[in-house]
Amino acid sequence: MDPIVPKNFIQQQIVDDLAAGKNDKRVHTRFPPEPNGYLHIGHAKSICLNFGTAKLFGGKTNLRFDDTNPAKEETEYVDSIMEDVKWLGFDWEDRLYYASDYFDKLYDFAVELINRGKAYIDFQSQEVISEQRGTPTRPGTESPTRNSAPEINLRIFEDMKLGKYNEGDCVLRAKIDMSSPNMHLRDPLMYRILKQPHHRTGDKWCIYPMYDYAHGQSDFWEGITHSICTLEFEVHRPLYDWFVDELQETDYRPRQIEFSRLNITSTVMSKRKLLQLVKEGYVKDWDDPRMPTICGLRRRGYTPESIRNFADMVGITKVDGVTDVALLEFCIREDLNKKAQRLMCVTDPLKIVLTNYPEDTVEEVDAVNNPEDESMGKRKVPFSKVLYIEQEDFMEEPSSKFYRLAPGKEVRLRYAYFIRCNEVIKDSEGNIVELQCTYDPETKGGNAPDGRKVKATLHWVSSKEAVNCEVRLYDRLFTDPDPDGHKEKDFLEFLNPESLKTLGNCYVEPFIKDAKPLTNYQFERLGYFNVDPDSKPEKLVFNRTVSLKDNSKK
Ligand code: ATP
Ligand code: MG
């Protein structure tokens, strides 16, 4: 096998660990979502990193639900997370775990720490406990019960488990160091009382372990070698190591490594804020195509390949930053350019009547399905006397830079003929309702034998054969590139009122009639689109995934 070329500092660390013979040369990672919301594009970065890195080294990746807080967790989220990880193209095989699988073991370990005088019950309120923690430069104050006897602590801990105390009455704390410069080591919480049923353990527990305690032990029990997480956990690492060192006896140690989280312009990424957008109805649901969630991106028309490629391009560093959403859009354009079937769709129809074309004749012209991929072949597009073009491709009094259709001007209809506009028909209010044009039968296929040129090629559909449909155009969900970054203003103040535009009277080539939900297309000149799950044979609905070019910098 060729030597593996590490692409980032984490892979370099693994190369070094393997060279040093650590962990019996195993590489084992995990993706540990908390099931309290749907996954977003930031999680996709973590998924690609964890699964992708393990795969690179011939290792394994576990999916582990970090379900230690029953107050906010639901089975709906568990199911959606599994669906999203699979859709992204990754497989945890038979290694699906839940932190809740370890509640018994974690309890036993807590008892062991109590017995060794390394954990104690504190009856003080949360406020007092945080007040007593001190500041990084001022040592904390010891709790009055810090040195109480293990037997007393144990009895109370058992009573906590039995439900004899109420939420907030007391907590279990690890006894570490109240003057440590690392605040996380100043006797952190291990257990709190939560009288909430758990989505997996039901009413069995009313005390739940804290993340910092549960996570390292779970990693240890699963044989994780590299526990990759985001930078905010860097300061927790000594605590992660402390618990493992106190409780585990073998030489093997999972190694926590941190990287910077993904942030993207013009959106928010925190699950709490995404939940708020859904619950308060600013978007339709978690899978609204404007959401940065994986299911939202899927519904919008993003492919797993484009997201994996994006994750690759943003790279892995230790420096926090913000990635321009334009990079994500670049990745989907690039993928769909290679894959998407081309079609013509008119979103704002203007009727064209070809006065010299025979009535009741329907001709079929050949159109290329994908110029990037000849193997996708050609299709037939019906052409007839009455057609639609886009309103904006016509100007009655064209400006000097307008090269498309105008009275007396000639343009090409893609794959078909040259047409010339002779007359503009208006209704009683002066609105243009129809253009009378003539076509040149000599220009079949779109070229004139006499070599004359036209300056514009328009997309079109045949009015009778085309299928009426709805098209949804999306714009950025927020008008500000950093909606979260304003101290005085709430992120909701930057919601873009024009983030969704629904065009209800569009016409698309009949080719698409049986299109399946989520299939990607390119509508020529308009962008990449896909079939929305709301689409029905009697009313097709399309989402615009992305425009053909990046227009944001105009
Ligand atoms: P949020 O802050 O959005 O609520 P979280 O960190 O609480 O997210 P978890 O479910 O705990 O969400 O995250 C699961 C994994 O995904 C963690 O390892 C976490 O570090 C990683 N992750 C979460 N958000 C991002 C992000 N924006 N970029 C990269 N990785 C992320
Ligand atoms: Mg978290």
Residues 506-546: tens digit of each pLDDT = 999 999 988 899 999 999 999 999 999 999 998 999 999 99
User: Which residue owns the Cα nearest ligand 1 atom 4?
Assistant: 271
Tokens, residue 472: 């949804």
Distance CA 514, CA 536 (A): 9
pLDDT of residue 325: 97
Residues 148-199: tens digit of each pLDDT = 999 999 999 999 999 999 999 999 999 999 999 999 999 999 999 999 999 9
Q: What is the mean pLDDT of the chain?
A: 96
Per-residue DSSP letters for 388-425? EEEGGGB-SS--TT--SB-BT-EEEETTS-EEEEEEEE
pTM here? 0.95
pLDDT of residue 551: 76
- Per-residue pLDDT at 3 exceeds 90: no
Residues 90-107: tens digit of each pLDDT = 999 999 999 999 999 999
Indicate the SS3 state at residue 97: strand
User: Which residue owns the Cα nearest ligand 1 atom 23?
Assistant: 43
Residues with active-site annotation: 34, 261, 271
Per-residue DSSP letters for 433-454? EEEEEEE-GGGGGG--TT----
Mean pLDDT of the region 365-370: 97
**Ligand 1 atom having least distance to the Cα of 274:** 3
Tokens, residue 122: 């504190």
Residue 93, classified by CB atoms within 10 Å of its CB into exposed (0-12), middle (13-18) or buried (19+), is exposed
- Per-residue pLDDT at 441 exceeds 60: yes
Mutate to test the pocket of ligand 1, among 84, 230, 317 (most ligand atoms within 8 A of CB): 230
Residues near 374 by beta carbon (within 8 Å), at least 6 away in sequence: none
- pLDDT range class, residue 352, cuts 50, 70, 90: very high
Same fold? 262-344+465-554, 350-367+376-459:
yes
pLDDT of residue 553: 57
Residue among 338, 308, 314, 339 nearest 89 (CA): 308
- Per-residue pLDDT at 2 exceeds 80: no
Determine the distance separating the centroid of ligand 1 and the alpha carbon of 43, expressed in angstroms.
Answer: 6
Residues 233-243: tens digit of each pLDDT = 999 999 999 99
pLDDT of residue 5: 92
- Per-residue pLDDT at 554 exceeds 50: no
Residues 35-54: tens digit of each pLDDT = 999 999 999 999 999 999 99
- Per-residue pLDDT at 552 exceeds 80: no
Would you state the CATH architecture of domain 350-367+376-459?
Beta Barrel (2.40)
Residue 99, classified by CB atoms within 10 Å of its CB into exposed (0-12), middle (13-18) or buried (19+), is buried
Residues 298-311: tens digit of each pLDDT = 999 999 999 999 99
Task: For the domain covering 9-259, report its CATH number.
Answer: 3.40.50.620
Handedness of CA 499, 502, 507, 511 (dihedral sign): positive
Tell me, using a 6 A CB cutoff, whether residue 262 lines ligand 1: yes
Determine the distance separating the centroid of ligand 1 and the alpha carbon of 333, expressed in angstroms.
Answer: 26
Tell me, using a 6 A CB cutoff, whether residue 227 lines ligand 1: no
Fold of 262-344+465-554: Ribosomal Protein L25; Chain P (2.40.240)
Domain spans, the chain = 9-259, 262-344+465-554, 350-367+376-459
Question: Residues 220, 250: contact at Cβ < 8 Å?
Answer: no
pLDDT of residue 72: 86
Distance CA 12, CA 317 (A): 12
pLDDT of residue 520: 98
- Per-residue pLDDT at 280 exceeds 50: yes
pLDDT of residue 458: 98
- pLDDT range class, residue 550, cuts 50, 70, 90: confident
Residues near 346 by beta carbon (within 8 Å), at least 6 away in sequence: 388, 389, 390, 459, 460, 461, 466, 506, 507, 508
Tokens, residue 57: 């080294």
**Ligand 1 atom having least distance to the Cα of 272:** 4
Residues 284-335: tens digit of each pLDDT = 999 999 999 999 999 999 999 999 999 999 999 999 999 999 999 999 999 9
Tell me, using a 6 A CB cutoff, whether residue 147 lines ligand 1: no
Mutate to test the pocket of ligand 1, among 30, 72, 261, 264 (most ligand atoms within 8 A of CB): 261
